[in-house]
A = this chain, B = another copy of it.
Amino acid sequence: MDTTVGLRERKKAETRQAVHEAALRLAVEHGLDAVTVEMIVDAANISRRTFSNYFAGKEDAVLYGEEQRIRRLLELVRAQPPGMTAWQALRRSVEEMYHLEGEPVREWAVRTRLARRHPALLDRQLGNLAGLERDLADAIADRESTVPPAVTAAAFLVALRLATHTWTEEDEARTLLDVVDETLALMARPFT
């Protein structure tokens, strides 16, 4: 391992983050379609072309935070002790995620609400989730489970998505974790 992150990479990450934040702020403020790339690059002090070096479009810039979260969750799952079943590893990872992130969860809700208003964003978000589903399935492939990894991963993510939805709708009366638990329990019930 190399603790030297390197100045170059640090600056790059910094820029990316700055662009992302500018994009998100502007999108929340004016609505996504009213935001042009020029506004973003202007707010982030980079050239129009450089933007394209970092993101393929405004949507990607706005959703960059989401991707980071996804990567983190994935690593948490991979880091779970091998004794756990697939399902346990997933559940535990969300808990850790929840405690790790702490308050930013609220800002995450903002992004979710924003996405609901803009189909293009929603689509890309779902695409990201699909990618996560694949990676999650791989990550839990070696663990004990009553069903194939792909099914486990899919069911888990659906529960997570539904839970987030109802959570944002009921104005955070309960904690997100509680809603997730309940939804997971519902998913496990047989359908007839």
Contacts and interface: CB of A to CB of B under 8 A. Distances in A.
A186 B147 CA distance: 6
A162 interface: yes
A88 B23 CA distance: 45
Contacts of A192: 85, 87-88, 146
Interface stretch (A1-9, A11-19, A124-132): A124-132
Contacts of A147: 186, 189, 191
Among A87, A155, A161, the most chain B Cβ lie within 10 Å of the Cβ of A155
Interface string A144-164: 011110111011101001100
A187 interface: yes
Given A127-B123, A130-B122, A147-B186, A87 B191 contact: yes
A187 B122 CA distance: 25
A1 to B, nearest CB: 32
Interface in A38-65: none
A148 B80 CA distance: 32
Given A87-B191, A192-B87, A186 B151 contact: yes
A174 B4 CA distance: 53
**Interface SS, A side:** helix
Copies in the complex: 2
Contacts of A156: 191
Interface string A177-191: 000000110111111
A119 interface: yes
A29 B155 CA distance: 35
A35 B165 CA distance: 37
A150 B162 contact: yes
Contact of A151 (B85, B119, B154, B162): B162
Given A122-B130, A154-B158, 4 more contacts: A122-B127, A150-B162, A156-B191, A187-B191
